[in-house]
Copies of this chain bind each other. A is one copy, B any other.
Amino acid sequence: MVRLQPPGYERFVQADSLEFTFGGAEANVAVSLANYGVDAAFVTKLPAHAIGQAAINSLRRYGVDVSLIVRGGERVGIYYNEKGASQRGSVCIYDRAGSAIAKAVPSDFDWDKIFKGADWFHFTGITPALSQGAADACLEAIKIANEMGVKVSCDLNYRKKLWKYGKSASEVMPELVAGCDLILGNEEDAEKEFGIKPEGFDAEKTGGEIDQTAFVSVCRQLMAKFPRCKKVAITLRGSINANHNTWGGVLYDGKTLWQSRRYDITHIVDRVGGGDSFMGGLLYGLLAYPTDQEAIEFAAAASALKHTILGDYNRVSVAEVEGLMKGGGSGRVSR
């Protein structure tokens, strides 16, 4: 998806140029994994023209395998993003209707071939929000992955502005999430997609402080509803203002709630893709470390760093993430 953003803190009505980058929830996870040295392929549909090619080149640049991308359709989806500051929140205008992926249908993808040799399939709640065709393709992928023994994860990612083709998230998502081994979400996603309410938590009121009981309650409800799911992760954002957030996450394994360190990010550079970088970090963490505590710390540190990096993609190395996990985050220079 094309991301068009005015430079710095300019508003759309005053901008004369837009930063032209690419992103999207699943693509961002793929880039994270590729950065950590994990083989990662991105599957989508993109037009054969130069804008589609530019999207592909952007992924290739960061080491993602693009050989499974189907070429076709008319347009690349766009989101216009205007960066906020202090009391002014960011503005996001989606322009994704009619994109190649929104018009894709299940027959565009040969999942048996795509999953050959794969270990893991990740999708998010954004793709099924685009169109019936995209939701159908997603469902087919999950079913085939389940059959082939490919693990499945989902970032619930509820986006109110996107669900426009006549079905609601709560109608579509349950069947998809039923095939998942790992779920990532936040309190709003769980409520909007499944009606699961985190008891005793209100981000606005508490400033994002963690109430452990409430999180365990949400995780248990999700695991009860989706028995295939073995682990649930939740991200915790405290919005002080548009430049200053706190950030962390928890991972629940059915018994224990593992909590990450809580980062105080006082000078956010770009918070778009924060959740995706958390997901990418969590997948790597679960793969690379023996304990869930380390996995959730890697996820949180990776996405704390993402908040300091321009663009959707989290361009950090394992060494950099581990540096933050182990160090103090005091931003000292190495020289």
Q: Which residues of chain A have a CB within 8 Å of any CB of chain B?
A: 4, 6-21, 49-51, 53-54, 57-58, 60-63, 74-75, 78, 80, 82, 84-95, 97-98, 159-161, 204, 239-244, 263, 265-269, 271, 301, 304-305, 307-311, 315-316, 320, 324, 328-335
Contact = CB atoms under 8 A, between A and B. Distances in A.
A66 to B, nearest CB: 9
A241 B88 contact: no
A24 B17 CA distance: 18
A13 B57 contact: yes
B91 A50 contact: yes
A146 B86 CA distance: 41
B86 A50 contact: no
Contact of A63 (B58, B60, B94): B60
Given A60-B63, A93-B49, A267-B85, A331 B239 contact: yes
Contacts of A51: 12, 80, 93, 95
A86 B13 contact: no
Nearest to A89: B331
A269 B163 CA distance: 34
Contact of A15 (B54, B85, B161): B54
Contact of A17 (B19, B57, B239): B19
A122 to B, nearest CB: 20
B91 A334 contact: yes
Contact of A332 (B16, B20, B239): B239
B266 A86 contact: yes
A183 B161 CA distance: 44
A85 B311 CA distance: 14
B242 A331 contact: yes
Contacts of A204: 328, 330
A242 B14 CA distance: 24
Given A97-B75, A98-B98, A266-B244, A87 B329 contact: yes
A251 to B, nearest CB: 20
A308 B16 contact: no
B86 A308 contact: yes
Contacts of A90: 331, 333
A87 B335 contact: no
Contacts of A331: 84-90, 239-243
Nearest to A35: B13
